[in-house]
């Protein structure tokens, strides 16, 4: 197996590109694909200050490394979700990476800074853990980016993630979500620009990149993700990809090129900045009264912390 660029010994095959690469040229491929996604979708301008949402997993740490390598002023933000030992270990991985690379890391801890954690919020509000978690992340990342004067928030969603979400939204023809599934969401009053620079790269490529770059990420998944329907969609797409390499890329890229605009009419009003009021607690633009985040805090912050459970069963921390 030889590198298709330098003919030296290859360390990885990328079936989608029908090619093998040595470590140096594979890392260059990943960097080039990231730069291409950024340029193609006008995600960032040279010199932009970017806040990277880092979880300690492979995608977000690789993204931080890549944006730094590509010359952006990229700082990290880690959110302590209070999900037992998983949160302790993911926080430690992020801190170790930032220290080793001399990068600036900001941290927000849900329990210390806002008086609740994800398991408690989920139990008290009867939302799924991922729904309470997602709402907290969106609000706190937006707030940190605006307060810190960042040009954009970057997240590590990769091609596998985006194709799985697209698959799920298409299966149920959730046109409202289809209309908003774009790798860049422009800034609007009260909300920063949001970008996903890894949409041209798959999960396997991100894991290989971390290994080759010596990035120590946490392999364990969040225990609350168990049973998440996106995992099933990923498996289904992996089977299709194994038989027909390039299918995921064609599915997702084809959607962006030829279909997403057709759903524009289905976008909810607030996607276009139709919020007409300001939250009476925190001031963010909202449709009326108190924003969803402040309502969540109000209910969860005073509650007795609950043990880490999923569907009523305890999870080993
Ligand atoms: S961290 Fe949060 Fe994920 Fe865990 S609770 Fe769900 S959304 S699975 S990316
Ligand atoms: Zn090579
Ligand atoms: Zn609010």
Tens-digit pLDDT profile for residues 142-182: 999 999 999 999 999 999 999 999 999 999 999 999 999 99
CA of 129 to the centre of ligand 1 (A): 7
Ligand nearest the Cα atom of residue 293 = 3
User: What does the block give as tokens for 14?
Assistant: 């990328």
Nearest to 219 by CA among 201, 206, 234: 206
Per domain, the residue ranges of the chain are 41-220+228-314
Alpha helices by DSSP H, 244-288: 247-258
3-class DSSP assignment, residue 286: strand
Task: Give the pLDDT confidence score for residue 273 in this predicted structure.
Answer: 59
CATH for the stretch 41-220+228-314: 3.40.50.620
Ligand 1 atom closest to residue 55's alpha carbon, by position in its atom list = 1
Taking only the tens place, the pLDDT of each residue in 107-153 is 999 999 999 999 999 999 998 899 999 999 999 999 999 999 999 99
Taking only the tens place, the pLDDT of each residue in 62-74 is 999 999 999 999 9
Write down the pTM of the prediction: 0.94
Residues in CB range of 85: below 8 A, 6 or more apart: 317
Give the residue carrying structure tokens 């926080």. 91
CA of 82 to the centre of ligand 3 (A): 21
Q: How far apart are CA 34 and CA 44, in angstroms?
A: 11
Q: How far apart are CA 118 and CA 225, in angstroms?
A: 12
CA of 29 to the centre of ligand 1 (A): 29
Ligand 1 atom closest to residue 118's alpha carbon, by position in its atom list = 5
CA of 65 to the centre of ligand 1 (A): 22
Q: How far apart are CA 120 and CA 132, in angstroms?
A: 9
Task: Give the pLDDT confidence score for residue 212 in this predicted structure.
Answer: 98
Beta bridge partners of 14: 19
Ligand nearest the Cα atom of residue 53 = 1
**Pocket (CB within 6 angstroms of ligand 1):** 81, 118, 129-130, 133-134, 222, 224-225
Task: Give the pLDDT confidence score for residue 74 in this predicted structure.
Answer: 98
Average pLDDT over residues 176-198: 95
**The pLDDT of residue 79 is above 70:** yes
User: What does the block give as tokens for 127?
Assistant: 């939302």
Q: How far apart are CA 171 and CA 230, in angstroms?
A: 12
Task: Give the pLDDT confidence score for residue 256 in this predicted structure.
Answer: 97
**C-alpha torsion angle, residues 70, 108, 95, 99 (rounded to 10):** 60
CA of 176 to the centre of ligand 3 (A): 24
Ligand 1 atom closest to residue 223's alpha carbon, by position in its atom list = 4
Q: How far apart are CA 182 and CA 264, in angstroms?
A: 11
% of the chain with per-residue pLDDT over 70: 95
Comparing 227 with 95, which gets the higher pLDDT?
Answer: 95
**What beta strand segments (E) does 33-191 contain?**
49-53, 73-80, 105-109, 152-154, 184-185
- Is the CA virtual torsion 210, 231, 202, 181 positive or negative? negative
Task: Give the pLDDT confidence score for residue 271 in this predicted structure.
Answer: 56
């Amino acid at each position: 197996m030889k590198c298709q660029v330098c003919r030296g010994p290859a360390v990885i095959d990328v079936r989608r590109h029908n090619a093998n690469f040595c470590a140096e040229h594979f890392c260059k491929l990943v960097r080039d694909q990231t730069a291409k996604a950024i340029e193609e979708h006008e995600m960032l301008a040279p010199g932009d200050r970017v806040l990277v949402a880092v979880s300690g997993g492979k995608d977000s740490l690789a993204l931080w490394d890549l944006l730094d390598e590509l010359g952006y002023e990229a700082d990290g933000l880690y959110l302590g979700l209070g999900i037992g030992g998983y949160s302790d270990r993911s926080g430690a991985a992020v801190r170790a990476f930032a220290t080793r690379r001399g990068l600036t890391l900001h941290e927000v801890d849900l329990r210390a800074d806002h008086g609740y954690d994800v398991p408690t919020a989920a139990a008290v509000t009867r939302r799924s853990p991922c729904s309470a978690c997602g709402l907290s992340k969106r609000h706190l990342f937006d707030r940190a980016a605006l307060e810190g004067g960042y040009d954009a928030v970057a997240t590590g969603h990769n091609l596998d993630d985006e194709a799985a979400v697209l698959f799920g939204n298409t299966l149920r023809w959730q046109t409202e979500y289809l209309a908003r599934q774009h790798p860049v969401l422009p800034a609007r009053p009260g909300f920063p620009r949001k970008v996903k620079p890894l949409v041209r790269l798959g999960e396997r490529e991100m894991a290989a990149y971390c290994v080759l770059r010596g990035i120590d990420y946490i392999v364990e998944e969040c225990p609350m993700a168990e049973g998440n329907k996106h995992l099933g969609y990923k498996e289904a797409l992996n089977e299709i990809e194994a038989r027909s390499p390039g299918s995921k890329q064609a599915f997702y890229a084809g959607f962006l090129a030829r279909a997403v605009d057709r759903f524009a009419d289905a976008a909810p009003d607030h996607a276009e900045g139709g919020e007409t009021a300001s939250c009476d607690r925190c001031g963010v633009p909202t449709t009326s009264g108190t924003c969803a985040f402040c309502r969540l805090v109000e209910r969860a912050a005073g509650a007795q912390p609950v043990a880490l459970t999923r569907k009523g069963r305890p999870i080993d921390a």
